Amino acid sequence: MDLGSLRPNKRGRKSKKRVGRGIAAGQGKTAGRGEKGQKHRSSIAPGFEGGQTPLYRRVPTLRGISSAAHNIGIFRREYAVVNVGSLGEKFEADAEVTPEALLACGLISKVLDGVKILGTGEIDRPLTVRAHAFSASAREKIEAADGLVEVIDE
């Protein structure tokens, strides 16, 4: 294929329909608007359904905690989550667990707005864990294993 073989799209070259230019043109007299009635005489608001409750008001409102419903998505923090059980599997005793270390060992793929440690699983070795947030059960399990919990403030 070369530049000499390119041709314009045939559909893209179609001229627009000229309405209201006489009976012979095919779209004369009523210009495609039909006979009589409100929509025939002048323009009305988009979505107007003749007094019937319009579709955009019949559709249920958005509910729940989604950002679409409350428009608070710009303020919500999205954490990369790690379970306590996986920390015990990946790190040796007395190791220092930081977001950088979690990235390096593959437990998280991105830091996002921070790292949160959750309490699923068991931990049997003391670790120094530095993260942006901890669940209450994760904090208890780390401290029960003689570990140290440090919250990173940003």
What is residue 15's predicted lDDT score, i.e. its pLDDT?
A: 82
pLDDT digit string, tens, across residues 67-109: 666 666 667 788 999 999 999 889 999 999 999 999 999 999 9
What CATH fold (topology level) applies to the domain 80-151?
A: Ribosomal Protein L15; Chain: K; domain 2 (3.100.10)
Structure tokens at 153: 């403030």
DSSP-derived secondary structure for 35-59: SSSHHHHS---TT--TTSPPHHHHS
Q: Strand, helix or coil at 73? A: coil
What is residue 75's predicted lDDT score, i.e. its pLDDT?
A: 73
Say how far apart CA 126 and CA 141 lie, in whole Å: 10
Contact criterion met (CB below 8 Å) for 108 and 82 = yes
Rounded to 5 degrees, what angle do the CA atoms 8, 9, 14 make?
105
pLDDT digit string, tens, across residues 19-44: 999 988 888 888 888 888 888 888 88
Q: Could you give the percent of the chain with pLDDT greater than 70?
A: 91
Q: For the whole model, what pTM was predicted?
A: 0.55
